[in-house]
Amino acid sequence: MKIRDKERLLAFIPARGGSKRFPKKNIAKFLEYPLIYYPIKEALKSKIFFDVIVSTDDNKILSIAKQFGASTILRSKKNSSDTAHELEACREYFRILKKQNKPLPTFFCVIYPTAVLIKSKDFKYSYNLIKNKKNVDVVMGVSMFNYHPYKALAVSKKGYLTPIFKKKYSKRSQTYDEMYASNGTFIWHRTKSFLEKKYLGHYAENLIGYKINSKVPMDIDFKKDLDYLNDFFKPKNK
């Protein structure tokens, strides 16, 4: 896949050291390697990025990321808290590039360090979506729900389960709208729009999805999620 000279594509992997739900999550082991190894490997393998940056506040993550071939930047304390959004770390990095009189990327791809099932082809195909659709500012890796949200139930004050979507749940499932969610893999941004439009998080008005099908959940929030993946993918005894 040839990228025109004026199209500078950046892979940006935000990898804080702290995680209340799963401490040191980003370097926990999946099969033989730390989680962050897999998205770094696939981003480099795609050969579409001029750089693969890991932004972190943790020296051990810095060392591991460098070992696997990524460039690194030490994130400020301000953008390393539990409430800081990863896009603020992107803005911080762009300010550094400007101070160094270096050009900003035309597009950048925020890749989550826990995206262990992503493949290089996914970066290539999803990039084509944002490149070829000039009115699109964001392309998000998404997957369909295993159970449709219209079937969601909540516990009432009396302790009974009650449908959340009261006008939808009883309809035939064949009539349900297709619904997707971010699967914790990656999000492409058009840099100019990102800096000028100031949309909320990754949710631009003209956001589209890159659909990824998987037999297992792709997002890793808790240790049990990683334990499940390790168990699913470990070699089976014959």
pLDDT tens-digit profile of 113-138?
999 999 999 999 999 999 999 999 99
pLDDT of res. 151 = 92
- Scan for tokens 């492409």, then name that residue: 188
Q: Which residues pair with 107 in a beta bridge?
A: 9, 190
CA separation for the pair 219, 225 (Å, rounded):
8
CA separation for the pair 220, 25 (Å, rounded):
9
The span from the first CA to the last CA of the chain, in angstroms, equals 40
Contact 41, 68 (CB under 8 A): yes
Low-confidence ranges of the chain (pLDDT < 70): 1-6, 236-238
CA separation for the pair 150, 148 (Å, rounded):
5
- Scan for tokens 């058009």, then name that residue: 190
pTM: 0.90
